[in-house]
Amino acid sequence: MLVQERAVHIPGAPAAEAAESRKTRAVAKLPLREPPFARATRWALGAAYALQPQRIASLPALMLWSTLELLKGRTEVPDPARTRSIPDTFGGVVRALTPETYLAGLRIGFFPWAHCGPLKWWTRRERMVLFLPERHTSRRVRRLRASGRYRVTFDTAFDEVVLRCSAPRAYNWHTLTWLTPRFMHLFSRLHRQGHAHSFEVWNARGELVGGGFGVAIGRVFVGESMFSNETDTSKLAAAVLYDHLEQWGFALVDARDWTPVLEKTGYRRIPRADYEQVLRDHAGAPDRPGPWKAEPVTNP
């Protein structure tokens, strides 16, 4: 299967950009299953994560509620009114991870996640979100964008982006990954249905060097993961994405958890109740048809 690239115009880009953007690229092949060593490593690191001092106190309750959920048949879609306080905002064990249940969970503020053991539904007491008019683009990223060294595209290499996002980071090889083959194939199906979208950065040699992906629900974009193989390329991809999302009428971007980089970009925490109100106001809006195409931005 081949896909056609669509390049966003970046001032100063070389004339060869147009010709390069017409080239086709083969879609990456996603793994069918997690290798035994990778699975064992993930479980070991997941156990170490759960046993950290700030989390170990809630572990007995998590094991108890998870066991009870398994005995009763697990949870199709979580009930927002029946989350547990210990562990915080636990919504049940996932019964079936499908595009339909995933989207249904997102629309009420939940997402499936687990480092080890059965997949579980979670929400957050506070959500890290970006209201698009509040975004901040650093001078460094603006200079990089104006340099013409990179091209930014949408929905041209979705599976390859997902694979890159799942790979260990060179600066932090032991970081846990939640992007198992099960999730990869879920997002690939969501992409083919027009719900999940990727954004890619290509260097002058035509190499994929940065980007990320997420899921759109109405006028809310839920960021899932990003990667960067060259300095600031993920930040460049995000800046172009945010400009397009605002131009297309999106209300906000959900990143779920706090990081210092997100805070510098303009993300801020809002209470769970406020986030759920945003979902009621905007998640039911008609989805923007996919695949997305990069367009001239009015005020980049």
For the chain, which domains are there? 2-30+128-282 (3.40.630.70), 36-123 (no CATH)
Residue 4 has pLDDT above 70, yes or no: no
Token readout for 237 is 């991809």
Residue 211 has pLDDT above 90, yes or no: yes
Token readout for 49 is 């994560």
Cis peptide before 291 (omega within 30 of 0): yes
Per residue in 141-199, pLDDT (tens digit) is 999 999 999 999 999 999 999 999 988 765 554 456 788 999 999 999 999 999 999 99
73: left (phi over 0), alpha (psi -120 to 50) or beta: left
Per residue in 220-234, pLDDT (tens digit) is 999 999 999 999 999
Residue 13 has pLDDT above 70, yes or no: no
pTM: 0.86
Q: Which residues on neighbouring strands pair with residue 111, listed in sequence order?
A: 122
For 19-73, the DSSP string reads HHHT-EEEPPPPPSS--HHHHHHHHHHHHHHHTSHHHHTTHHHHHHHHHHHHHHT
Percent of the chain past pLDDT 90, that is, above it, reads 66
* Residue 248 identity: W
For residues 79-88, give the mean pLDDT.
89
Residue 15 has pLDDT above 80, yes or no: no
Binned at pLDDT 50, 70 and 90, residue 126 comes out as very high
Residue 76 has pLDDT above 80, yes or no: yes
pLDDT attached to residue 299: 58
CB-CB neighbours of 277 under 10 Å: 12
